Structure 1
C-alpha cells in the first residue's frame, strides 16, 4: 500500500500572496534560499506581478486535502533548461512532502517544456531538499560556489 501523500497543483494567483510571502519569510526557508533576506510586502507584490506575467516561469500552489502545503515552480532559462524550485509550507513540514512536490514540479515542467533539461541548485546543508530531489532522479553534477548543482538523470 502506498502511503505517500498526494498533492494537486494549481497556478498561483494574487489571492495566494499572503501565503507565499509568509512561506518566503519563514526563517528555515530563508536559510535555505539563495537570498536569505526577508522580503517586504512591496518587494513581494512586485515579484508576484512579474511572475504572473512571465511566460518563462510557472508557479503552482500544492494542495493536499484542500490545504495549501507548499509551492513549486519552474523557470526556463535562456539556454532552454528548466530550473525547479520547491518550498514546503512551514506548517506542512515533517509530512514527507518534499519529494512529492519535486515530482509534481517535474511532471508540470514536462507538460510545458517536454524535452528540456531539468535542474536545481541546493545549498549543501539543505539535507531535506537534497534527499527530495535525489528521490526523484536528480543527481548532483557539480558544485557552483556555495550551491550544489543537481540534474534530472532519469
Structure 2
C-alpha cells in the first residue's frame, strides 16, 4: 500500500458494510487515516497490502508483528463492490506471502461476535478456533461482544498445501 492508496482504502473502511464488523466503527477522517498510515510506516513489523486482481484494487490487508519465526496478527477487508471470492483469494495470497517469504511461525486473527462470514472465512483457510474472549469488546451502542480468536501454524498451512 502506498500513500496514494489512502483515499480508496479509507472509503472502503468507512463503508457501512465494512465498518459494522470493525473494533472501531466511527467514520475515519482523512487526517486520522493519514496519521495512522504514518504510524504504520514507522513500525518495521507491520505490513499493509492492497490486494489487486486483474489490475484492479479489491481489498486491504493489515499485518502486525511480522518477523522471522514470529507470531503475527492480521486484519483485512474486501472492497464493498469486490466480486465474490475476493476475500478467499486475498487470504490465500497473504498466507503464502507470510509463510513462505516472511517465514512467520503463526498467524492470528480475531473476529467479533456476530460476524459469521469472517469465522467461516478463517476456518475455510485452515485457521483453528483457539478460544473466545467473553464480552471483551464494548461496541458503540454499549453492548459487550465476544471476540473469537483463530490461529494458523506454518506447519499446518504447509501440510494443507501438499495434500
> TM-score w.r.t. structure 2 length?
0.79
| Structure 2 equivalent of residue 54 of structure 1 | 43
SS in 1 for 2:57: strand
Runs of 4+ aligned residues of structure 1 deviating over 6 Å after TM superposition are none
1:110 Cα deviation (Å)? 2.0
Indicate the residue corresponding to 2:20 in structure 1: 31
RMSD of aligned C-alpha atoms? 2.0
Q: CA 1:35–1:112 in structure 2 vs 1: closer, same or farther (change >3 Å)?
A: farther
Q: Tell me what 2:75 maps to.
A: 85
- Normalised TM-score (structure 1): 0.84
Bigger relative CO (Cα 8 Å, ≥ 6 apart): 1
- For residue 10 of structure 2, what is the aligned residue in structure 1? 21
Q: Which moved more, 1:108-117 or 1:134-143?
A: 108-117
For residue 152 of structure 1, what is the aligned residue in structure 2? 152
Q: What secondary structure sits across from 1:90 in the alignment?
A: coil
Match of 1:96 among 85, 98, 103: 85
Whether contact under 8 Å (2:113, 2:148) holds in the other structure is yes
Unaligned runs of 5+ in 2: 137-145, 157-163
Bigger CA radius of gyration: 2
In structure 2, distance between residues paired with 1:15 and 1:97: 22
Cα distance in structure 2, aligned partners of 1:42 and 1:73: 19
Gaps spanning 5+ residues in structure 1: where? Answer: 1-11
The residue that corresponds to 2:120 in the other structure is: 131
